[in-house]
Amino acid sequence: MASRNKRLALGILTLLWTVLGAEGKEEEEQTCRLLGKFDLNGYVDADNHSVVIGGMFPIHSRTIPVDESILEPVSAKCEGFNFRGFRWMKAMIHTIREINEREDILPNVTLGYQIFDTCSTISKSVEAALVFLTGQEENKPNFRNSMGAMLVGIVGAGGSSLSIAASRILGLYYLPQVGYASTCSFLSDKYQFPSFLRVIASDKIQSEAMVKLIQHFGWVWIGVIAADDDYGKYEVKTFKEKIEDANLCLAFSEVIPKVYSYEKMQKAVDAVKTSTARVIVLYASDIDLSPFVLEMVYHNITDRTWIASEAWVTSALIAKPEYFPYFGGSIGFAIPRTDIPGLREFLYDVHPSKNPRDVLTIEFWQTAFNCTWPNSSVPYNSDHRVNMTGKEDRLDAVSDKFCTGEEKLEDLKNTYLDVSQLRITNNVKQAVYSIAYALHDLSSCEEGRGPFDPGNARAYLPDFDAWQLMYYLHSLKFTAHDGRTVNIGQNGDLTGYYDILNWQLDDSGNIAFVKVGEYVFTDSMFELVIRRNATIFWNTESSELPHSVCTDVCLPGTRKGFRQGEPVCCFDCITCADGHVSQKPGQRECQRCGEDYWSNTTRNECVLKEVEFLAYNEPLGFTLVILSVFGALAVLAVMVVYVIYRHTPLVNANDWELSLLIQASLIVILLSSMLFIGKPHTWTCMARHITLALGFSLCLSSILGKTISLFLAYRISKSKTQLTSIHPLSRKIIVLISVLVEAGVCTAYLVLEPPRVYKNMESQNVKIILECKEGSMEFLCSIFGIDAFLSLLCFLTTFVARQLPDNYYEGKCITFGLLVFFIIWVSFVPAYLSTKGKFKVAVEIFAILASSYGLLGCIFAPKCFIILLRPKRNTDEIVGGRISVTDKSMQLTSASVSSEINNTMVSTVLED
């Protein structure tokens, strides 16, 4: 049914067309007219010109919302006069006139222009692009404007989103488009935008420059706010990639809505207000940024440092004194400024009376002087924006006063007449010159030497294809009026440098853009330079460099402990473990100290470990030395007594030579303990246990000689038969054999697996315990096992003979001495195993000294007491024979053994 209705409608239209055609027979040619036209404003000067350059500029800042009740497509109208965009448009006209007046560029060729207002919207940019490309329902672009002149290229279309929209259409036909303010890095993609070039740097370069600027000032916690368009989205994407590569962190990323949305705007405001980030990057045009600036003022948000993109850093719309408390100190990147000779005078040459149909000039005049031009239908200062409360504001469409035409432009203070910061304006001039120079190169080509195959063909003005002009644009390089070189590369991007500007207040209270550095980007160099003598104003409470971090840098001695699910710039500072240090701030890991080093208390430096050993100069070591020397002197004193009283009965009673050997061995044992004190060396490690073992071997074997004599004496006293006593030489042989066996085992020990110095680092981490490694535990157990065996034999033999009558109790004294010896060394084992370091050595020395003092005291102290203090008891009668029965205090000595055989008392004197 629907198809039948369409065919019916088509038939009716055909019939009407036939009728209308019959009525117009007098006309030589019939042409179709568009039923609707785009509502586009602009300037056209194409009559009597060889070629035409198109232009698209944001002369207005927005479009009026279309009434939703209208169902048919309607071309929206524009509002919000943009003085800056109007200046850019004027700069293009001025440049084209300048080129036409020159003789060195395009001689005999004049340039025309056709300029449209994009109204800072994508829809108007597309409408303008379609008008440039199409001609009255023709489905093939004719590349000629409405006046019939050849269209060779487009300058524009302002912001990145506008250029992207227009370039998607213009690129289909390879029509050259030179951007003067479109910085989006996405436009460098020649697959999607093959005919787009620009005389402004890509935002990829600007993002790299911003990251280097952030790194230069030590900021790591950054917020990002961007316009909700292609420019903002692609630049935020590029910026995120750059900061991730630089190990920086994004605190938040919000958008400024193109169409006012209270929820979206409040989300961006809340992000700025609540975040700890004090440095925020702003990617937006001044027009898109204006509502956000008002929100910052409304919420009184200060103490923030804004990093400005080139799109708004020098905009007079934002750089107002009343905004300085909120945006003062902003630092950002700007296109290099320059002066354009003659532009100021050209800008002043504007007046509505010159052309009553010039609606843009009339609107400019009305807006600038706040009046209504008489007899004009041009609306006055209409504004359909939505304010911060979410309600629509509509200003009066008619002013209370009329324009007289006598108003003076000199009295104006607005962006249009401000030629102090000609940056984008200069880019417009360079964009026009780029097309002009490319046309000049194209027209200067000689036949047969052209760049196009086959046969080195050349192109001709005015009839040529758009792709032929693109060839010359891609290889374009020229010197601008200010001496700078304009070099457009193969990807359509520009090389050069950025000015780094800082917002400061001048003496008159106005905002000054102070240059504090620059960022140079060429094919071979990318360098950020901040002037040393530059004074940068920071909008902080202390007027010092802002501090923008999620977590302060971890101090030396700590490491970063990242929080799960949070950016890498948010972390906890964890103290390094024992034995690990971090010497630089912000280290991710702590380094382990070397083998001989340990971490200090602050964990920021490795220090040499304390070497621990039992030293002579410490109280414990000194005390042990005193005890050792005192014991040796005491034994030496006993030896002197024995030598002096060697002929007395008591000394001769039980082989005084063995007694001297015991005393000498005790001196060796006591002095050997000093080998355990002091810093261990290889020789002391080898000598200490060997000397101790040999000393004990000599001592115990000598005691064994004595105890065997007592044992035999006891057996004789209990025997009913006559027994032969042991010969004195046999005792010496026992001693010799014992010592030789011990010496042999010690020699094998020293030869095969000797002790050595050992750094014990396992017991205590903070110390190196310098000790002696025993070497072979089997040998060590063997040499001390011999001593243990000798001591056991001594104990058994003397224990049996302990009840032998003895005036000075030698048997009992030796028994007690050996008991003390056993108790000390049995107690030594658990005490030795439970201690570490120098105290382990001290326990061993205590055991040596205690056992030596025990043997000395138990064996020789009673004899010395009698020899020195009871000499009357040191007689042959008492020591060697029976005593009177009346003297009950005296008993028989071991030298006199009473045996009663056949009721007869027989006194036998042992060979002592």
Q: Which amino acid is located at 539 in the chain?
A: N
Higher pLDDT residue, 881 or 363? 363
* CATH number of the CATH domain containing 813: 1.20.1070.10
What residues contact 567, with CB distance under 8 A and at least 6 apart? 249, 250, 251, 550
DSSP 293-306: HHHHHHTT--S-EE
Instruction: Check the CA dihedral 206-212-213-215 and report its sign.
Output: positive
- How far apart, in whole angstroms, are the C-alpha atoms of residue 809 and residue 802? 8
Task: Judge whether residue 22 has pLDDT over 60.
Answer: no
Residue 158 lies in a domain: yes
| pLDDT score of 6 | 39
Residue 320, φ and ψ in degrees, nearest 5? -110, 145
Task: Judge whether residue 888 has pLDDT over 50.
Answer: no
Higher pLDDT residue, 5 or 801? 801
Both 832 and 723 in a single domain? yes
Listed residues 608, 638, 666: the one ending a domain: 608
Mean pLDDT within 491-497: 82
Contact predicate 459/468, CB 8 Å: yes
Residue 363 lies in a domain: no
Confidence bin at 491 (pLDDT 50/70/90): confident
Residue 14 lies in a domain: no
Tell how strand 591-592 and strand 597-599 pair up.
Answer: unpaired
Residue 900 lies in a domain: no
Both 738 and 812 in a single domain? yes
Q: Give the CA dihedral 421, 426, 428, 431, nearest 10 degrees.
A: -150
Confidence bin at 5 (pLDDT 50/70/90): very low
Task: Judge whether residue 907 has pLDDT over 60.
Answer: no
Both 197 and 225 in a single domain? no
Confidence bin at 580 (pLDDT 50/70/90): very high
Structure tokens at 726: 């042991």
- How far apart, in whole angstroms, are the C-alpha atoms of residue 82 and residue 60? 5
pLDDT tens digits, 664-679: 989 999 998 888 888 8
Both 192 and 244 in a single domain? no
Both 600 and 573 in a single domain? yes
Residues of the domain holding 137: 42-65+75-201+341-351+405-494
Confidence bin at 9 (pLDDT 50/70/90): very low
Both 633 and 700 in a single domain? yes
Among 63-72, 237-246, 730-739, 869-878, top mean pLDDT goes to: 237-246
Confidence bin at 396 (pLDDT 50/70/90): very low
Task: Judge whether residue 206 has pLDDT over 70.
Answer: yes
pLDDT tens digits, 365-385: 998 898 888 888 887 665 544
Please state the three-class secondary structure of 442-480 as a single string: HHCCCCCCCCECCCCECCCCCCCCHHHHHHHHHCCEEEC
* CATH number of the CATH domain containing 222: 3.40.50.2300
Mean pLDDT within 507-532: 89
Both 95 and 233 in a single domain? no
Residue 597 lies in a domain: yes
Go through the chain and tell me how many residues it has. Answer: 912
pLDDT tens digits, 130-167: 888 764 323 345 566 666 678 889 998 888 888 998 88
Task: Judge whether residue 506 has pLDDT over 80.
Answer: yes
Among 145-159, 627-641, 645-659, 821-835, top mean pLDDT goes to: 627-641
Both 109 and 245 in a single domain? no
pLDDT tens digits, 740-749: 888 888 888 8
| pLDDT score of 11 | 41
pLDDT tens digits, 262-299: 899 999 999 999 998 999 999 998 888 999 999 999 99
Q: Which amino acid is located at 837 in the chain?
A: G
Residue 504 lies in a domain: yes
173: DSSP letter: G
| Structural domains in the chain (count) | 4
Mean pLDDT within 523-551: 88
Residue 617, φ and ψ in degrees, nearest 5? -85, 0
Structure tokens at 559: 């490491």
Both 465 and 506 in a single domain? no
Percent of the chain residues topping a pLDDT of 90: 26
Nearest to 438 by CA among 468, 401, 463: 468
Structure tokens at 483: 């001496």
In angstroms, what is the C-alpha Rg of the chain?
Answer: 56
| pLDDT score of 32 | 53
Task: Judge whether residue 357 has pLDDT over 60.
Answer: yes
- How far apart, in whole angstroms, are the C-alpha atoms of residue 529 and residue 519? 6
Both 669 and 812 in a single domain? yes
Contact predicate 91/129, CB 8 Å: no
Q: Helix 838-855 crosses helix 619-644 at what angle (to 10 degrees)?
A: 20
Q: What is the mean pLDDT of the chain?
A: 81
- How far apart, in whole angstroms, are the C-alpha atoms of residue 331 and residue 280? 10
Residue 457 lies in a domain: yes
Confidence bin at 65 (pLDDT 50/70/90): confident
Task: Judge whether residue 616 has pLDDT over 60.
Answer: yes
pLDDT tens digits, 814-845: 888 888 888 888 888 888 888 887 888 888 88
| pLDDT score of 726 | 60
Residue 688 lies in a domain: yes
| pLDDT score of 326 | 94
Both 840 and 694 in a single domain? yes
Both 697 and 792 in a single domain? yes
Mean pLDDT within 222-227: 94
